[in-house]
Structure 1
């Protein structure tokens, strides 16, 4: 039996942790739509932009509310309450789709445990895709116990970077671990991509894209804008994304204290961030823990040079000085100097832009991503 025929017979229940449309959800959608030859059913906790796209592509989904096993603070009572809700949700899912022969359950992130329970109900294999650093989450059971549970409840564990694989390796069976980079780009687009010719706006236009949360480190970028001003460079920073209200207010207070409120633009969430990459001179990523770095790949794909923190999956995407620039976490002065280096060195700017495009289209295509996951599904 050939691989394609065996895949066609699979009915896969995909578990989404949310109906928003940030990096993890977008990568998940790319996967689901790329595996259309499977009989896919998607479980979502609510309706939103995610389910709208599923409807648009005629992909079957069911909406049943369930809880994550993470929260901002550890509360024993809350943990038991979330577990009870998830058991009820599993029973509802079972009765809703019991007439379907579910061959596999595929869970999209480590923050959602319901897929592991459902796979027991249907007595089928379970693939768990880890897309975030465990250091950025507070798990009901704690990090160690949670990863032990993930190990016990999975036939295959997919990591979206070598960094994530190394961080969870002590807690899981290494034979289950697989690294599959997210696929962001379509190969057919490569022929139209060329590096940018050097041009810098006045003032310099910077952007930072993604959830506005403390571990994303937006204060580095804000302080770097202030440092640029002191060094004689005028810049504006576009913050693209939504997130924690208290953190956003803290950032706005920081802008006021530094006297640069007019230079920092809070643009809110945008479904399509590419216009920001295209119209910005430089994209900045200030994450304290970045499991992969989808924003880096997206920006690089349109030739927008990226300056990112020297940590996590970002170092697997960016070669410092060749496909982007790196800086030390919390060193806003170093970040400012890296911005100045790009602004004042046309040859470096153009080299990084061209190299970045070639590199991301070589390593991060959707088809390669889909093929790698397809192989894992086929062999279970």
Structure 2
């Protein structure tokens, strides 16, 4: 079984899922996997070195134009001859399946990682047309599956929830919330969909009330949006409270130092950072966005706030930090859920079974 995974070289959540699948399937003798990245500005040597270190076989195709990407990927498919091409995310699922059709790859799979993408009418038309030649469309959450069900796709839709490496996040002898030295953390790329702005506004409202927690922001992404977030921090005079970390290979260690994890997204596919924080024993506060809301039972294993509601977010942060010990049971319940339901071994097994069905069917 030869499986080619095509995904953005931006090392987003979609890239992480593809890498995790390949790493897991590399342990199966009957599976040969190849990762193909569409070059982006953030396809940097440091991240590629990490792929080498974990033994992921990868190639890079141009990202200069969509036409050039399809041409290079078609040639690569003709050389490598995969049985299955898995195209992750937008617009890669359009480019990947187009190249796969041209190269006569036997089986095509689309993986939709988000609940809302920048589809023009033309892109939507392409998606529907390509679905006729697609074996299966995989949604990374039930919320995404519900969105896809409204798009008149011709291929069957299957939900396979994303998962995390529960052996990496958390571990044994976790510090209780009260003993953790840092207050708030958010891990996510800089993009409007992540809505860092609402979190910074919540920090400002807390400061006005005399509550001044520290906040760690981890992630890279769009320079323009990051500049906007930094400018907002400066305008509210929050520089002493907010620590920016562009990229870290030790997010697992950072999470263990923080009491509260915040995810202020406006929309998602299924947010892996939320699951990592749950497994790490943080109290998780998330927005009611698709891909976040379904992970959290409000006031049972975390807290939910309405998308974009900085005041509600500020009130929830203040509530938790005023008496962290009271919310230790929520952190423990969240950790148990992440370990039982969202371990990535379940995900890799589900994809392997799907691939087997395609080849047998």
| Fold equivalence (TM over 0.5) | yes
Q: 1:177, 1:43 → 2: CA distance?
A: 24
Q: In the alignment, is residue 159 of structure 1 matched against residue 146 of structure 2?
A: no
Q: 2:292, 2:215 → 1: CA distance?
A: 21
For the 8 Å contact 1:194–1:357, the answer to whether it is kept is no
Find the partner of 1:320 among 266, 274, 298: 298
Per-residue deviation, residues 275-301 of structure 1 (Å, max 9, x unmatched): 221111211111111211111000110
Q: CA deviation at 1:146?
A: 4.3
For the 8 Å contact 2:301–2:331, the answer to whether it is kept is yes
Per-residue deviation, residues 221-253 of structure 1 (Å, max 9, x unmatched): 111111112222121211111122222222222
Q: CA deviation at 1:323?
A: 1.1
| 3-state SS, counterpart of residue 8 of structure 2 | coil
Q: CA deviation at 1:361?
A: 0.5
Residue in structure 2 matched with residue 28 of structure 1 by the alignment: 18
Per-residue deviation, residues 294-336 of structure 1 (Å, max 9, x unmatched): 1100011010111110120111111111111111112111111
Q: CA deviation at 1:187?
A: 6.1
> Closer, same or farther in 2 for the Cα pair 1:86/1:149, shift >3 Å?
farther
Q: In the alignment, is residue 145 of structure 1 matched against residue 118 of structure 2?
A: no
Q: 1:214, 1:331 → 2: CA distance?
A: 15
Q: 2:122, 2:236 → 1: CA distance?
A: 38
Cα RMSD over matched residues? 2.4
Residue in structure 1 matched with residue 97 of structure 2 by the alignment: 116
Per-residue deviation, residues 84-141 of structure 1 (Å, max 9, x unmatched): 323422443245x1xx4421111122321232123221341111111122x3x32465
In structure 1, runs of 5+ residues without a counterpart are 1-9, 68-81
Q: In the alignment, is residue 368 of structure 1 matched against residue 359 of structure 2?
A: no
Residue in structure 2 matched with residue 131 of structure 1 by the alignment: 113
> Closer, same or farther in 2 for the Cα pair 1:351/1:114, shift >3 Å?
same
Find the partner of 2:245 among 263, 267, 279: 267
Residue in structure 1 matched with residue 71 of structure 2 by the alignment: 88
Q: CA deviation at 1:343?
A: 1.7
Q: 2:217, 2:226 → 1: CA distance?
A: 10
After TM superposition, the score normalised by the length of structure 1 is 0.84
Q: What is the 5 A alignment of 1:1-380? A: 10-18=1-9, 20-36=10-26, 37=28, 38-46=31-39, 48=44, 49-66=46-63, 82-95=65-78, 97=79, 100-112=80-92, 113-120=94-101, 121-133=103-115, 135=116, 137-139=117-119, 142=122, 144-173=124-153, 176-186=156-166, 192-193=171-172, 196-199=175-178, 205-380=183-358
In structure 2, runs of 5+ residues without a counterpart are none
